[in-house]
Amino acid sequence: MYKILGYTGGVYRFDEIVEMVEDIGGIVLKRDDFQISRGDYFMSQEIHVILVIPEETLKDLKIIVKELIGDIEELDVDENQKIGVISLLPIYNALSSALKWTKMETLEEMIDCPCINGICNELNDDSCIKLEKTLNAMCRMEIVENRSIGKDKEYRLKVEKK
């Protein structure tokens, strides 16, 4: 089982949370940075993120969040939204290990069914991940980018521009 969580906290040592989430097979889905100010005075910079992690690792994440004086809460999402989010994980993990542009056929070979950590069991469907549909959604969410080489499409995790 996976948990979909919302984290709010400062930017200081936030990379420790990202590293832990990725190490345990989770994903940081959406990150919003914002500054809190009062009048002309800058007060603080904070982050809001949506995380997906295996349920059994929640206790360890809470320890790190407490050290960083952040807040974490389970998000209330309906079953279809949860299934959509959880189906991203095998693809994200496959692209993370590839570290380069990857063809759809290669991704199909990399994602074994039943999926890692029992993701298929949570999908409530006879089939596993709907690869093309999920990749298109990940492109819209700007987690993944694609390109066409002739008639083949290739995908990779979106590279952050610095």
Domain boundaries, the chain: 2-76, 80-157
Terminal CA-to-CA distance of the chain, rounded, Å?
A: 35
| pTM, 2 dp | 0.71
Rounded Cα distance between 48 and 72, Å, is 10
The separation between CA 160 and the C-alpha centre of its own chain, rounded to angstroms, equals: 15
Rounded Cα distance between 59 and 123, Å, is 24
Report residue 156's pLDDT band, with 50, 70 and 90 as the boundaries: very high
Determine which of 54-63, 76-85, 120-129 has the lowest per-residue pLDDT on average: 120-129
Instruction: Reply yes or no on whether the pLDDT at 59 is more than 90.
Output: yes
CATH number listed for the domain at residues 2-76: 3.30.70.120
Instruction: Reply yes or no on whether the pLDDT at 147 is more than 90.
Output: yes
Mean pLDDT of 9-21: 89
Mean pLDDT of 105-123: 66
| Buried/exposed code over 63-97 (b: 16+ C-beta within 10 A; e: otherwise) | ebbeebebebeeeeeeeeebebbbbbbbbbbbbee
Report residue 126's pLDDT band, with 50, 70 and 90 as the boundaries: very low
Rounded Cα distance between 69 and 36, Å, is 16
Per the listing, tokens 């089982």 go with: 1
Give the architecture-level CATH label for domain 80-157. Answer: Orthogonal Bundle (1.10)
Phi, psi of 36 (to 5 degrees): -105, 125
- Long-range (24+ apart) CB contacts under 8 A made by 144-152 are 144/91, 144/95, 147/101, 152/103, 152/104
Task: Tell me the Ramachandran region of residue 138: left when phi exceeds 0, alpha when psi lies from -120 to 50, beta otherwise.
Answer: alpha
Report residue 127's pLDDT band, with 50, 70 and 90 as the boundaries: very low
Instruction: Reply yes or no on whether the pLDDT at 98 is more than 90.
Output: no
Residue whose C-alpha is closest to residue 57's, from 26, 31, 29: 26
Let me know: does 20 contact 49? Beta carbons within 8 Å.
no
